[in-house]
Structure 1
Amino acid sequence: MTQARKPRPPPGSRLTVGEITDLFRRLRAANPHPTTELEYTTPFELLVAVVLSAQATDVGVNKATRKLFPVANTPAAILALGEDGLKRYINTIGLYNAKAANLIALCRQLLERHGGEVPRTREALEALPGVGRKTANVVLNTAFGEPTIAVDTHIFRVANRTGLAPGKTVRAVEDTLMRVVPEDFKRDAHHWLILHGRYICKARKPDCQHCPIRDLCRWPEKNHPGEQTRAA
């Protein structure tokens, strides 16, 4: 006698509280200690790397900072390079002209207002040139251990596809995630969701066959065993 097949959850619905807990348990089991793929050793290096990462890949940023940080990895040292000097290290990154200008202004403000240290509050971080809410969330979470969630394109996609935290805007998704993610998982949720979106729940060719949360996912376009993968 064959066992009855478990019904698939309805497409487009939200995950239940129990399913959300199960989702993060599985992501934690697969990667117990997630972290950013940006290379850094200090909060300031992380801040610089995150500013540079806007509309750029972590791989591309790391290639640039491997050359920059041995030469200049403090606000004073980068300020001493000057805008043109800084550009020589980051000119392989998209929007490097604007990013160089922002980083010089950021370093000057850190020295003038914060004693050269990266501030630990959202308000102070968002007041820095080139730093928005997403960058502030990354720094607060990764450098200082705050339970913040920075919603980038990967997290926005995963949250909407799976039914974890559907929302039409980045801020709406962030607010929902902060409400529904259990406290035990909130510290690392940012990294788990980014990595899942980067390597499994990809935009064009999601790897549903190897997805650890496929049975929970509410995305109507997801494929099941034996089905061909369809792009988003």
Structure 2
Amino acid sequence: MEEKIIKILGLLDEQYGSEAICYLNYTKDYELLVATILAAQCTDERVNQVTAKLFVKYDSIEKFANADISELEQDIFQTGFYKNKAQSIKKACTQIINEYDKKMPNNIETLTKLTGVGRKTANVMLTHVFNQPSIVVDTHVKRISYRLGFTNQKDPTKIEFDLMKVLPKENWSRYNGQVMALGRTICKGQKPKCEECYLGGYCEKNI
């Protein structure tokens, strides 16, 4: 199993490089938090379209915290589930200001205390803001890790812990971006292009 994993990770590095990839556009830590909240049940492309204007209008964490909730809802309407997302953004930004002196929490225990922030969002922040080894489990990671035989779990948290056991720590942060790229182009949920996949020889669920 260990030899197989090393070969798979080597092929992923060859295809996508060895740096952690973030598909969400941001320049400030709170912007990534907002973008990741918006990305729930929404494509990164759509989120980036929305945040291109959003981050100009709300150019500080205070503006998100003090936003008129109805106006914020309309500003993020295109990302779906806009009422819940607006509440999460406003409350999380308020918490960061009031409880953490405007400083983004830098550990998963504290990050997940923020409204609307689960382990997936927290791990995105740890990976891209704090450069801490973390595994982000999204739909692509869930699907492809199962097909490769890295996990048999369906719960994202259990998958995360399974991957922490089998993947070398130095690969944790870049694994998500690499697998997302693979999942978007080849190892799709429906009609995967197995004949084109460079990992085909290692796939336990070859379809």
* Larger relative helix fraction: 2
CA distance in 2, matches of 1:107, 1:48: 9
Unmatched runs of 5 consecutive residues or more in structure 2: none
Q: 1:97 aligns with which of 63, 83, 99?
A: 83
Percent identity between the aligned chains? 33
Q: Distance in 2 between matches of 1:183 and 1:81?
A: 39
1:41 corresponds, among 27, 32, 36, to: 27
d(CA) in 2 for partners of 1:74 and 1:118?
13
Divergent runs of 4+, >6 A: none
Aligned pairs (5 A) from 1:68-107: 68-107=54-93
Q: Deviations over 1:8-49 (max 9, x none)?
A: xxxxxxxx1101000010110111134111111121111100
With structure 2 as the length reference, what TM-score do the two structures score?
A: 0.94
Aligned length: 206
Q: In structure 1, list runs of 5 or more residues that go unmatched.
A: 1-15, 222-232
Alignment partner, residue 13 of structure 2: 28
- Aligned with 1:134 (options 111, 120, 135): 120
Q: TM-score, normalised by structure 1?
A: 0.84
In 2, Cα distance between the equivalents of 1:73 and 1:210?
A: 44
Task: Report which stretch shifted further, 53-62 or 179-188.
Answer: 179-188
Task: State the alpha-carbon separation in 1 of the partners of residues 169 and 95 from structure 2.
Answer: 34
The match for 1:198 among 167, 170, 184 is: 184
Residue in 2 aligned with 1:228?
none
Is 1:173 aligned with 2:159? yes
Query: Is 1:144 paired with 2:130?
Result: yes
Inter-partner Cα distance in structure 2 for 1:58 and 1:209 = 27
* Residue 210 of structure 1: how far off its partner (Å): 2.2
CA RMSD of aligned residues (A): 1.4
Q: Which amino acid aligns with 1:192?
A: Q
Deviations 1:131-166, CA, capped at 9 Å, x for gaps: 011111111112211111111111110011111233
